[in-house]
Each structure stands twice: as structure tokens, then as C-alpha cells.
Structure 1
Amino acid sequence: MQPYKGLLVLDAAQGIAGPYCGMLLAAMGADVIKLEPPKGDWSRGLGTRQDDHSVMSTVFNRGKRGVVLDMATEEGKRQVQALAAKADIVIEAFRPGVAARIGLGPEQCRPDVIYVSISGFGQKGPHSERPCTDSVMQAFSGFASLNKGMDDVPHRAYTTPVDIHTGMCTFAAVQAAIADRALDKAPRQRLLDCSLMAGAGSLLAIQIGDVGLLGRQPPELNVPAGSYQCKDGAWVMVALVREQEWVDLVSLMGATHLLEDPRFTDFPTRAANKAALLPLLREAFLTRTCEEWLALFKTRRLLTDRVNTPLEWLAEDHTKQVNAAPILNQPGLGAVPMPALPGIGAILTPAPGLGQHTDEVLTEHGLKENAA
């Protein structure tokens, strides 16, 4: 699907949320110009990397053209403004007000531009100037407090769920703006305020609705769902959504006596007596290997599976047979497995090197003769 062919996007964001939105637009056919300062997007310096490429920057910048311009110089500023004046969509992730101060605000853009601002806390409010990352927002939003491990300590998720979800939501908002713009009788700008706080809030909609309605934290939904270590050291994940699954679980485990215990009658009572229940189940799980438990649970189609590492996921037969992670041949890095996107599929166009297309883009837009 290439519905956005012919659209020009100036992606001046760094990191994850903004670039993720830009990558999806590129996958849909848009000409996305990845604008970077001379030192590059900070994501180029994190994680597994080679020269000016990293896996992180590759994931979020596939399919774009890379341009380096220095807005600290008058010439660089002029060239960026010239590109912004042509772009259908501009994506920026500066602190609120910075884009306007450096000459990359809506005033420098087309009268019908879709102007996307991505920030931690939004463009207004007492926290709008605060620096923010995915981890900070996991803490602020309450996400980390709900992600307690067996040690009962709040943990950040090791991946970046808030950044990625915010990028996906931003992509959805941009798509709506593109469709809405097609209905205009006169050009008008659309200013999209997209924040990590809003992204985190939408991830936690059920939990926020619950606590707002009750004025307190409700009991856990499906105790004793969770991960349990087995005899061989592997871990099995158990999910429960119906009471019958609790009956099937303990029956298969040979622990039918738990069905007679009034502390464990239903989800609410099990939640109230979680501290008493979990040690009993942990001890039981240690009597068999992970594969033995899974084979047993499959006889009742219970919602269980082995807790894999990402490397083990790549090695799974199912992953291979459905080509869930085809190979992207990324110059500078090599063969990188790149998971396909739901409903979209594989995006296997490499990410640009730092400034790789600067001359090409400037020439194309009539700016090369004045390039530094």
C-alpha cells in the first residue's frame, strides 16, 4: 500500500516516537526527508552500532532520505526553512517553543501543512518544559507501578512501549489529518500536539478508568496469572481470563484441593489472598520441566507458553515459517532481522547514512548552489 506517494515529509525529530511516525509514512509511499544536525540523531549512538549506524536508528528511520543541515548557520537555517515551506507534513520533537525560536515553526510552513509536535508532556502545562524519556514517562504515568516483578518492585519495561505507542498514535493522527485536509475548501494548517504523556495515558486507559471511577487501585484482574519457574530453570507464562481456566489449571497440576479453599474461590478472593496462593503454585511448578507443563496444559488449550528471549523467538519454527522477521540488508550493519508490522508487512528499505542524501535533496529542491 502506497497511498502517500507524492507527499513530502520533513522529519526533524530524533529518537523514537517522531521517527517511528515518519518511518510509517515512508512505508506508505511518502518522501520522508530525515533532517539531522551535524552530530546526527542521538539514536545513532545507542546500542549495537557500526560507524554512524545503529540498530535503533535503523529500525525507526527505514525508507527515508538522510539530510544533514546545520541550523546554527544562516545558510543551514535558510535551507531547512526552504524545505519546510514545501513539506506537506513537518514533524518536530524540540522542547515546546524551540522550533519557533530557531525558525522551524508553523510560520515557516505551508498554509495547509500538517505540523506535528512531539514532546514529553505536551505543548502547554506546568511540566511542558521538563525533559522526558520513555522511562521517565513510565514512572510519571503509573506504568512502572503496575509493572511489578516477583520482587514486588516497580520496573520499567526494557523496551520502549510509550515511545512506540506514541509514534503509532501520531501516525494515526497524521493519517486523519491527511484525509481531513482533502475536504478543505480553503487551505488551513493543522497543528498536532502529540505527547508521551498522552501516549502513556492511552496505553493505561483501562487502569486509569478503573482508579478514576473507584478512587483507589482495584484488585488485580486475573490472579494467579504470571510467570513461574519450572524444574529445568525455564519459565512458563500463565494467563487466565475465565474462572474455568483456574479450575483446569489446578486440576492438571494435581492441586484440586485449592478448589475447596475459600480463599481462592474466584478472581477477587484470589487477588485478596495472592500472598498465600503464589508460594503454593511456585512450589508446584518446580516439580516438572517447562515442556512437560506446556504439553499438559495444551490438553485443555490453556493460555500458557514458554517465556522466550528475543533470540529464542527468532529461532521458533512458527516465527520462521510465517517469515515474521525477514532480513533487512542495512549498509554499515549487515543482515538485520526486522519484524514485519501488523497489516503492513515487512519494511525492508534501509535507513540512510548520516547526511547520505544531502546533496541529492538540496539539488532536487533548487538549494544546492548555495550549499555550504
Structure 2
Amino acid sequence: MSTPKDGPKPYEGIFVLDAAQGIAGPYCGMLLAQSGATVIKLEPPKGDWSRGLTTRAGSHSVMHTAFNRGKRGVVLDLATDEGRARAAKLAAKADVLIEAFRPGVAARIGLGPEAAKPDAVCVSVSGFGQSGPYRERPCTDGIAQAFSGLVSVNAGADGVPHKTGTLVVDIVTGISAFAACQAALAERAQDAAAGRPGRRRHLDVSLMQTAASLLVLPIAEAGLLGRMPGELNVPAGSYPTKDGAWVMFALVREEEWVTLCKQLGREDLLSDPRFTDFKARFANKPALVAILRELFLTRDAAHWVELLQAARLLCDRVNTPLEFLEDPHVKAVRAAPLLHQPELGALPFPAIPGLGAWEEPAPALGAETEALFAEWGI
């Protein structure tokens, strides 16, 4: 397997056993692989359930490829004594152990923190955390969005609360697990440098806590006020245009409201007492949005984007992912280079912020099991 030359590789020599399925845990493992770690993906005979979702070819799927690039793969049946014994031997070598079983299950099958090295970092990913009354409650990205309040603050123009159109909680949980794991590995290195005895570190990472962290501002302000705060920057948002496209603009300062009205040729709105500041505009949002919607429908999206960007306002077209991929800036900076995944073909994957492109393929189901165990003397 080739290793990209670019990007930091601080975890060369670190062995990660990734026994998680889905998105969050595997994404953490993939980011460790991109940072130089040797990551072994442990799957059951039927494979990670993510292999069965999204577009598929052979044992691969787009979802599985997205979050398992650059790993080596083994298959073990943990329902058998032999499978558990071989998994335990892998776990005993692990510097980092990632699992996403229901709380308590990992320990019962020999993949809990105590199975790893004495100074290992153990990452447990779950829906609601390793303790508390909801610890065994099943959870998904959408349920975490609903429970945390994220859905409630994402009401559409139809007034209906919606989940986001991507698996944002799963993905950010993976990033959060990676960040926590990095901190734990740094602390482990400090212990070793100081001659302190090694100790295991167990990281409890939940979808619930991740979803809450995404709501840090509304949760903090609502808790302070005892009620939901008003919207930050009315009339910011998305507006349909004459050509059937949409544009979005944002306002962060009162001066930008003045600039917006001047650019739109509606300076009369500046003297309207309903719209004097952010607070007043929030109180009268339906009336203001109706005025702006009618205005934006008079010209094409390109006109409005050019007009507002020329005034240094925060504005852009609402793109589809395909339109994003075709944008000249995206192509110029290689924001989503192609990865060639066996059986699936060429897929564009966004570069990882700060780490760069990761163009290593994901492992086929069980393809390296015996070869890897022979290599490791297991």
C-alpha cells in the first residue's frame, strides 16, 4: 500500500484495532490511518453494515469506502471461541482500540479496554454514552439530531423541523473521537517521556454529546435565558431566484443590512421601524422575508451573487454536490480528488481539512485475514 508524501504522519508505529462499524468509529480510525497509524479493520463475516448501504459493487460500498480508506481488513466471527481468541490477540497489541458496541458488549466479547495494552487509548463510541439511564437505548444520526434539539432549530420555510441532509452527527462524532484520541496519545507520550508508568485511557464518545456540541450557542443562550433565543441574523438565509436556482446570504453586522438594502435598491427598508435592527427584524421576519423573496425572484441567481459579492457581502449560490464538484475553484485546489476504489471505480472524496487528500482504497471484506495474522505471528 502506498503512502502519500504530503501531510503529517505523527502516528507511524502506532497500531490501531478498529472494531467499530458504521461511520463515527471507523472515521476516527481512518483519520488515524491518514496520520500514519497502522489500522486493522475488524469485521464480522457479513461485514460492516455500511458495506450494504449506498451504491455498491462486490463487497464495497461508497459509504464503507468513505470511512475506511487506508486500513487493512480482517474478518473474525466473534460468536465463536476461535474468533474471540484471535481478536483478543489483536487487542493485546493495540495502542488504540476503537469499538462501537452497545455499552457493556465489548467487555463481554473481549474487546473492552482491559483487553488492550496497559497504556492503550480505548475509544468507545455509542449513542448516549457508557453510563446513565439511556446507555442502552439505540441511536442513529437522525435520532441524535432530534434528541439534542438540532432538528428543532432547523425549521424549513415550510415551518417543519428537519434533520440535516447529511450525516453530520455521525461524521462530527468521528472527528471528535479523533481529536480526543490525539489528546490522549499526546498525554501518553508525555508519560513515557517523564518515565511515568503507562495507564489505559478510556474515551467515552457519544452521538448525543456530539449533537449537543454542535448546538453550543443555542444551548448556552437558552439555558441562560430560560427560553429559546431569537435568530442571529434575520433576514439571512436562502432565497429562490428567477431561473429556479437559490442564493444564500448572511449578515453578521448591522452595517451589512444597510449595504444589502442599498445593493437591492430598497433603501426605503432602512427607515421602516419594523426593520431597524436584528431584534426588530427577527420580530417581523415573515413580513421582511416576503418582501425579499418577491425581489429575488425578479432576477437570476448569477445576477444577485455578482451584485452582492461586489459589495463584499457574504453571498453565494446554493449548489448541489455535483455543481460543487464542477466549480473552477474546487478543481483548482483539488478539494475533492478522485480515489480509485477496486470494483467501485473512481470516486471524488473531499480532502481532509489540514491533512489533505487521502487517496488510499478501503479493504475488501476479509481479503487480508490470514495473510495479516501470519504477518503478525497470530
* TM bucket, shorter chain: over 0.9
Matched length: 367
Counterpart residue type for residue 251 of structure 1:
K
Cα deviation for residue 105 of structure 1 reads: 1.4
Alignment pair present for 1:305 and 2:312: no
CA deviations over 1:133-180 (Å, ceiling 9, x no partner): 100000000001111111111000111111111111110111111111
Alignment pair present for 1:245 and 2:256: yes
Alignment pair present for 1:317 and 2:328: yes
Which runs of 4 or more aligned residues in structure 1 lie more than 4 Å from their structure 2 counterparts after TM superposition? none
Please list every run of 5 or more consecutive structure 1 residues that lacks an aligned counterpart in the other structure.
Answer: 368-372
Counterpart residue type for residue 12 of structure 1:
A
Structure-1-length-normalised TM-score: 0.97
Alignment pair present for 1:294 and 2:305: yes
* Aligned position for 1:7: 14
Counterpart residue type for residue 9 of structure 2:
Q
Choose from 23, 30, 40 the match for 1:16: 23
Aligned alpha-carbon RMSD (Å): 0.9
Choose from 215, 231, 237 the match for 1:204: 215
* Aligned position for 1:174: 181
Choose from 61, 64, 87 the match for 2:71: 64
Cα deviation for residue 298 of structure 1 reads: 2.2
SS of aligned partner of 1:182: helix
* Aligned position for 1:370: none
SS of aligned partner of 2:315: strand
Counterpart mapping for 1:65-80 below 5 A? 65-80=72-87
CA deviations over 1:288-320 (Å, ceiling 9, x no partner): 111111121122111110000000000001111
Percentage of identical aligned residues: 64
* Aligned position for 1:83: 90
Cα deviation for residue 332 of structure 1 reads: 1.3
Choose from 103, 113, 123 the match for 2:130: 123
Structure-2-length-normalised TM-score: 0.96
* Aligned position for 1:283: 294
Cα deviation for residue 66 of structure 1 reads: 0.7
* Aligned position for 2:363: 352
CA deviations over 1:100-133 (Å, ceiling 9, x no partner): 1122112222111111100010000111101001
Please list every run of 5 or more consecutive structure 2 residues that lacks an aligned counterpart in the other structure.
Answer: 1-7
* Aligned position for 2:347: 336
Choose from 105, 109, 113 the match for 1:102: 109
* Aligned position for 2:233: 222
SS of aligned partner of 2:40: strand
* Aligned position for 2:372: 361
Cα deviation for residue 281 of structure 1 reads: 0.7
SS of aligned partner of 1:158: coil
SS of aligned partner of 1:143: coil
* Aligned position for 1:159: 166
Cα deviation for residue 21 of structure 1 reads: 0.4
Counterpart residue type for residue 266 of structure 2:
A
Partner Cα separation in structure 1 for residue 205 and residue 250 of structure 2:
33
* Aligned position for 2:150: 143
Cα deviation for residue 201 of structure 1 reads: 1.4
